[in-house]
Amino acid sequence: MTAWERSKEIKKKPSRVQLQRGRKAWASARGEPSVHKQAEEKHRQLGQRLQAILASVPDIIMEVDLNKVYTWANSAGLEYFGPDVIGKEAAYYFEGEQDTYSKVEVLFRGDESVIYLESWQRRRDGQVRLLAWWCKALKDSQGRMMGALSTARDITDSKRADQKLEEHDRQLEDLVRERTSELERAHQQIEKILQSAGEGIFGVDLQGRLKFINEAGARMLGWRADDLMGQEIHPLIHVARPDGMPSAGEECLIRRVLTTGLPFSEARAQYRRKDGTFISVEFTGTPILSGDSPIGAVIVFRDITERIQAEEERKKHVENLEIFNKAMIDREKRIIEIKEEVNRLCLELGREPKYPIVWE
């Protein structure tokens, strides 16, 4: 085959472009969709899906242009503001003075951030509601500003609930502060009473450890109050019975009231002072209860050492008087007996009795 024949043969074969065009023509002749139509169909289906998604979103979605005029709204937005919202400026629905525009102004200058704000706006039924907005700038494919796209949610009820909760919290805090103040005043009053009392008063926990003591009590025992705090009180002060014999722990009335939860009164004991000397005390015990269980006790005691001494002195004086009285009576009886003897002798001598005898 000559060169001329070969070139002629090559010209008979179709090029790649010719083959593609032929396939398109063949596909068109057979009624199959072209690539362009397939792309259009996919775009349409995608648009439908997006529309379905936007329609199913419960939040309000609104679009405004550069003049802040609504140009699009999803189903929730149309339902909330009404179908005539398109073409109206956003401020048409504002209620009361607000700085909404100033807050979103940066978006219309190209800022890419999402801005959150809350705005009171009028619903289609005329009710004024509080909406929470999330706003973002809207740009075209070339990056030019088109407006803003915003989502909104009605937070009126939740806001009011939060306000009620805050008000309740404030009232509760006020009540707590008031109650705390009352307790502090009551505590101060009790403290004043304890410190001004002439009797000794101290409290112990369930283990018998001292939790508080007033000044009079500490003074009677010869201690500083702070030095006694936290110490077990029985081995420290209650070591002797009224008769001076050692006091066993199981005999301690303070321990008994802690064990049984039952009060006692008008008991006597010997309390040892810090310097080792003893004072006689009369004391009462009252349990501190949690429910029915004792958790501590309060002891009130008074120093009766001088009273005991006075009682002993009176007793001794009475005993001395009784001894003296008995001696005087015996002496008087002896005098009467002597007089009677003299009178008898007088009678025997025939004389008148010398002494008159009067028995009382």
Model confidence pLDDT, tens digit, residues 336-360: 888 788 888 888 777 788 777 665 5
Please classify residue 156 by burial: count the beta carbons closer than 10 Å to its beta carbon, then call 0-12 exposed, 13-18 middle and 19+ buried.
middle
- 258: phi then psi, degrees, rounded to nearest 5: -70, -30
Portion of the chain with pLDDT greater than 90, in percent: 46
At 150-169, the pLDDT tens digits run: 999 999 999 999 989 999 99
Q: Give the rounded percent of residues in the chain with a pLDDT score beyond 70.
A: 81
State which H helix or E strand residue 271 sits in.
strand 264-272
Domains and CATH numbers, the chain: 45-156 (3.30.450.20), 197-303 (3.30.450.20)
Task: Give yes or no for a contact between 150 and 59, defined as CB atoms under 8 angstroms apart.
Answer: no
Q: Is the pTM of this model over 0.85?
A: no
What are the angstrom distances between the C-alpha of 326 and each of 23, 163, 317, 319? 157, 94, 14, 11
Average pLDDT rounded to a whole number, residues 11-28: 55
Greatest pairwise CA separation for the chain in angstroms: 218
Contact (Cβ atoms closer than 8 angstroms) between residue 295 and residue 289: yes
Assign 118 a pLDDT band (cuts: 50, 70, 90). very high
Contacts of 249 by beta carbon, 8 Å cutoff, 6+ apart: 234, 235, 255
Whether 6 has a pLDDT exceeding 50, the answer reads no
What is the mean predicted confidence (pLDDT) over 265-279? 89
Residues 6 or more apart in contact with residue 115 via CB below 8 angstroms: 103, 104, 106, 107, 133, 134, 135, 136
Q: Which amino acid belongs to residue 131?
A: L
Tell how far CA 140 is from the center of its chain: 56
- CA dist 94 and 188 (Å) reads 56
Structure tokens at 94: 């504002």
CB atoms within 10 A of CB 217: 25
Look over the chain and give the mean of its residue pLDDT values, rounded to a whole number.
83
